[in-house]
Amino acid sequence: MRFMVLVKATKESEAGVMPSEKLLTEMGNFNEKLVQAGVMLAGEGLQPSSKGARVRFSGDKRTVVDGPFAETKELIAGFWILQCKSKEECIEWVKRCPNPMEGESEIEIRQVFEAEDFGAEFTPEARAQEERMRAQIEGRK
Amino acid sequence: MRFMMLVYPKGYEGNAPETVPDPQHVIEMGKYNQELTDAGVLRAMDGLDSPGKGARVTFDTGKAVVRDGPFAEAKEVLGGFWVIEVDSREEAIGWAKRAPMNADEFIEVRKVHDYADWPDEVKKEIENFQGLREKAEAKR
């Protein structure tokens, strides 16, 4: 099963403060362990929300709001996708992660939906479409 | 440049742990995903299970502390994401506007850190990451 590991933003990450050399080194070492164990599928960092936008939906109406967004603790600063045998295994990996921020911080762990989670409602046609698209994405990398 | 489109579905924060998305909505999403694929902009996508089944790890005291979901304090909860590669922020927002979302939901568009965005001293460390990423790709 796959898990998305979300690193929450802080005032500093939202202000565009770059991580220290020490933290980057520790993070690099942690990433290396993830790769060597074969659990890391993806990982990215996001730029501060001040460079982003939100699109709100209401019927056919679309409203674009430019960042920054105030609720810093719920914003996301980066993520990993990890392949683990259980939620517990994923949590163990996250506990071994260096504190991703200089002060207080939080990481959220969420299971990724797989095709089998949707049951019969996810028709063979829809599954085939999904598989085709994923193959195309892989082919582009 | 790459952008992450973060989906914040309404009501997801209070859902029972076993909740799965409405099948009709999944079909509409499939069509939208196909448009992204056909346009050649889609790089990654996934949907996340109910936050009630997740966990949060905090590092406030320097030690990792684990709490299981659901989280009463969570107001806006991530439901899924796309990573797209486009020429501008405007193009990314244009794609977000076309997504099949319901009233009072929103998509947050955020730029992914690319190698060129980092200061020189950070690039050295990133080079290690890039090697790691290639290894991760090779293992898939």
B56, B67 Cβ separation under 8 angstroms = yes
Averaged confidence pLDDT in chain A: 92
ipTM above 0.85 for this complex: yes
Give the CA radius of gyration of chain A: 18
The single residue listed with the structure tokens 């392949």 is A83
Would the pLDDT of A141 be above 70?
Answer: no
* Of residues A45, A39, A88, the one with CA closest to residue A30: A39
Question: Which uninterrupted H or E stretch holds A91?
Answer: helix A87-95
Residue B64, chain A, CB below 8 Å: the answer is: yes
Tokens of A61: 């109406």
For the entire predicted model, the pTM comes to 0.87
Task: Classify residue A108 as exposed, middle or buried by CB count within 10 Å of its CB (0-12, 13-18, 19+).
Answer: buried
Residue B18, chain A, CB below 8 Å: the answer is: no
Q: From the CB of residue A40, how many other CB atoms can be counted at a distance below 10 Å?
A: 25
Q: Which residues of B touch A100 (CB under 8 A)?
A: 59
| A11-20, B4-13, B93-102: the lowest-pLDDT one | B4-13
A28, A10 Cβ separation under 8 angstroms = no
Angle, vertex CA A111, rays to CA A106 and CA A114, nearest 5: 155
Q: How confident is the model over B117-133, as a mean pLDDT?
A: 71
B57 band by pLDDT with thresholds 50, 70 and 90: very high
Would the pLDDT of B6 be above 70?
Answer: yes
pLDDT of residue B139: 65
Q: Which residues of A touch B23 (CB under 8 A)?
A: 118, 121-122
- Considering only CB atoms, B49 lies closest to which of A49, A91, A110, namely A110
For residue B9, the distance in angstroms to the closest alpha carbon of chain A comes to 10
A35 band by pLDDT with thresholds 50, 70 and 90: very high
- Considering only CB atoms, A118 lies closest to which of B26, B105, B117, namely B26
**Partner-chain contact B34 A105, CB within 8 Å:** no
pLDDT of residue B126: 67
**Partner-chain contact A43 B133, CB within 8 Å:** yes
Write the DSSP symbol of residue A104.
S
pLDDT of residue A33: 96
Q: How confident is the model over B95-116, as a mean pLDDT?
A: 91
Averaged confidence pLDDT in chain B: 86
Cα–Cα distances in Å, from B12 out to A51, A62, B21?
26, 20, 10
pLDDT tens profile B69-95: 888 877 888 999 999 999 999 999 999
* Of residues A7, A36, A34, the one with CA closest to residue A90: A34
Q: Scanning every residue of chain A, which has its alpha carbon at the shortest distance from the alpha carbon of B66?
A: A91
Q: B43 or A141: whose pLDDT is higher?
A: B43
**Partner-chain contact A28 B125, CB within 8 Å:** yes
For residue A79, the distance in angstroms to the closest alpha carbon of chain B comes to 11
Residue B20, chain A, CB below 8 Å: the answer is: yes
Tokens of A54: 């939100």
Residue B72, chain A, CB below 8 Å: the answer is: no
CB contact burial A58-85 (16+ within 10 A = b; e otherwise): eeeebeeeebebeebebbbbbbbbbbbe
**Partner-chain contact B111 A52, CB within 8 Å:** yes
**Partner-chain contact B30 A129, CB within 8 Å:** yes
